[in-house]
Amino acid sequence: MQDLPKNKKIILFDGVCNLCDSSVQLIIKHDTKDIFRFVALQSALGQEITIYLGIDSQKMDSIILYHPGVAYYYKAEAALEIAKELGGVFSFVRILGLFPVSFSNIAYDYVAKNRYKWYGKKESCMMPTEALKSKFLS
């Protein structure tokens, strides 16, 4: 855990979810300030981080945004924080911040519950290309 980059925000995601994979690819494409690093929840490091944060990863079907030594966010709050960092066209997502977190999480949970049915599931976590390896922590 001490090897985690302190100057990067870490996105923990479901590595076998097609929707999550597409979201990671979208974030990488628009992360022009090189803010984020990525870890699959299913990986050893993903498990280590969730245990450190006190989150039961067996019950977690959510994205987690972890800023080492500062804070962590999950579900809708994580998505809002990521959108805030990306800026530009993603700023429209910040409108959701006007709603209570419990309301935003209900919508988030509905999508999370149905993501495999709607978008499918992979047999294993994606393997980043050589060009993207630096974006993923292991």
pLDDT tens for 70-100 read 999 988 899 889 999 998 877 777 677 677 8
Q: How many whole angstroms separate alpha carbon 40 and alpha carbon 103?
A: 26
For residue 19, the model assigns a pLDDT of 83
**Of 16, 18, 26, 12, which Cα lies nearest the Cα of 118?**
18
pTM of the predicted model, to two decimals? Answer: 0.86
For residue 11, the model assigns a pLDDT of 97
Report whether pLDDT(9) > 90.
yes
Q: Name 28's Cβ contacts closer than 8 Å, sequence gap at least 6.
A: 36, 38, 132, 135
Amino acid identity of 13?
F
